[in-house]
Amino acid sequence: MAHVFIESNWVFGYAAPGHHKLPDAVELLQRARSGEIMLHLPAPCLSEARQAISTKCQPRNEADAVRKFLLRAKHEGIVSRAQDQIAREVLDRFEQSVHAELRRLDEVIDSLREEPGLEIFSLNEKMLDRAIRLSMSDLWLKPFDQAVLASVLVRAEELRNEGETDFCFCETDADLQPWDKGGSPKKPLAQMYDDVSVWVYDNFALYDPDRPDDWPE
């Protein structure tokens, strides 16, 4: 079975309100439920994602931007009074819908703890020690990224010691991807992943054109 590491960006893509939700993140959990893969998520990612969703997914800014446009557009005759009224009603419903989803956010995130095929693991002493050593390396990562990287590397080692061999990491954050903008390996990060046989994807579909078995049928 393939063991797939995920982090805060996956939680955001799965648990965010509808217009921010990522279908591939939802599909990834469905694949885990079916027994196709096993997901592994560091526990601190739950709280980080919750804060990010609560902050970034508030509907007010998006709705108000459209309302400002409508105010100008109606004055300039770009939209009619009737169109303006319909658009504002839609915006009101949009805000109500998003607020309702945000009120259920804690419930959605807590439910992940009971999902089959998803292991949410706490950072152990070895992971914390690895994070400290990463902080003194040439990676120049943020403290939370250091903790995520350390947890993935150590958990992969643990699983390999248990006889598992198929590992990958869905990482949409460029800071933890083992390649630069030009596609060249970032050292020593790329070597760290290679040492524990973790293949890194930049998406949640587990698709990479450089791997023959990833081409869709």
| Residue 214 maps to a domain | no
What are the φ/ψ torsions at residue 97 (nearest 5 degrees)?
A: -65, -45
The confidence band for 214, taking pLDDT boundaries of 50, 70 and 90, is: low
| Residues 174 and 124 both lie in one domain | yes
The rounded distance, in Å, linking the Cα atoms of 126 and 207 is 31
Per-residue pLDDT tens digits for 98-146:
999 999 999 999 999 999 999 999 999 999 999 999 999 888 899 999 9
Q: At 119, which CATH number?
A: 3.40.50
| Residues 156 and 171 both lie in one domain | yes
Report the chain's mean pLDDT, rounded to a whole number. Answer: 93
| Residue 153 maps to a domain | yes
By C-alpha distance, which of 176, 50, 23, 200 is closest to 112? 50
Q: Which residues contact 132 (CB under 8 A, 6 or more apart)?
A: none
The confidence band for 62, taking pLDDT boundaries of 50, 70 and 90, is: confident
- The alpha helices in 104-178, defined as continuous H runs, are 105-111, 125-135, 143-161
| Residues 29 and 96 both lie in one domain | no
| Residues 120 and 194 both lie in one domain | yes
Number of H helices, E strands in the chain: 9, 5
| Residues 85 and 22 both lie in one domain | no
**In terms of pLDDT, which residue wins out, 46 or 78?**
46
**Which helix (H) or strand (E) segment is 10 a member of?**
helix 8-15
- Say what the pLDDT of residue 57 is: 93
Domain end marker among 85, 103, 121 = 103
| Residues 71 and 167 both lie in one domain | no
Count of CB atoms situated within 10 Å of the CB of 16: 22
| Residues 19 and 124 both lie in one domain | yes
CB of 170 within 8 A of CB of 10?
yes
Per-residue pLDDT tens digits for 163-189:
999 999 999 999 999 999 998 999 899
| Residues 84 and 141 both lie in one domain | no
CB of 133 within 8 A of CB of 105?
no
In the chain, the amino acid numbered 217 is E
| Residues 75 and 42 both lie in one domain | no
| Residue 148 maps to a domain | yes
Q: Domain range holding 80? A: 57-103
| Residue 68 maps to a domain | yes
| Residues 203 and 121 both lie in one domain | yes
| Residues 73 and 160 both lie in one domain | no
| Residues 130 and 187 both lie in one domain | yes
19-55 in b/e burial notation, b at 16+ Cβ within 10 A? eeebeebeebbebbeeeebbbbbbebbbebbbebbee
| Residue 216 maps to a domain | no
| Residue 204 maps to a domain | yes
- Say what the pLDDT of residue 185 is: 93
Q: Give the chain's domain count.
A: 2
